[in-house]
């Protein structure tokens, strides 16, 4: 797994863009050239880096979620568009709820009220998905407990 911060605003910090994968690709990223080169050495904590960076980029959105429930919209899989709800107690659970069970690469933009992302994987059909927090009122209306 590797992560690379694609852009970062100095003043506002939103929106923030990042790219993640759940497979460990050992690379050294050169900030001056914007290029990654293969590396023979991995630190072994790639997933922890993904979770830590995702946590930092999504802190405002996660803090605003009073229920722990999330909605994923427009995730395109081999069998069509999929949308759904999930409950997550940890940052890693949020990432898993946004992704698929398999190898994937996620390109995301984090906003204070949502995450827009594209997921590339073996079942990818070219989706532009959105993750939003479910309010207490929405949770009750949907019967999520």
What is the DSSP-derived secondary structure letter of residue 70? E
Per-residue pLDDT reduced to its tens digit, 20-66: 888 766 677 778 888 878 776 665 557 888 899 999 999 999 999 99
Count the Cβ atoms, other than its own, within 10 Å of residue 89. Answer: 8
Across 2-16, 52-66, 72-86, the highest mean pLDDT is recorded for 52-66
Q: Is the pTM of this model over 0.85?
A: no
The backbone region for 67, taken as left when phi is positive above 0, alpha when psi lies in -120 to 50, beta otherwise, is alpha
- Torsion 119-125-126-131 (CA) sign: negative
Cα–Cα distance, 56 to 25 (Å, whole number): 21
């Amino acid at each position: 797994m590797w992560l690379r911060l694609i852009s970062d605003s100095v003043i506002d910090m939103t929106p923030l863009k990042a790219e993640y994968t759940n497979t460990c690709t050992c690379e050294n990223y050169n900030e001056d050239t914007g290029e990654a080169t293969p590396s023979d050495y991995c630190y072994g904590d790639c997933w922890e880096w993904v979770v830590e960076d995702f946590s930092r980029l999504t802190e405002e959105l996660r803090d605003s979620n009073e229920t722990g429930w999330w909605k994923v919209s427009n995730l395109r899989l081999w069998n069509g568009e999929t949308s759904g709800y999930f409950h997550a107690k940890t940052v890693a659970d949020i990432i898993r709820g946004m992704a698929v069970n398999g190898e994937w690469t996620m390109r995301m933009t984090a906003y204070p009220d949502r995450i827009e992302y594209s997921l590339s994987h073996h079942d990818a059909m070219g989706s532009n998905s959105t993750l939003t927090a479910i309010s207490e009122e929405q949770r009750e209306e949907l019967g999520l407990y």
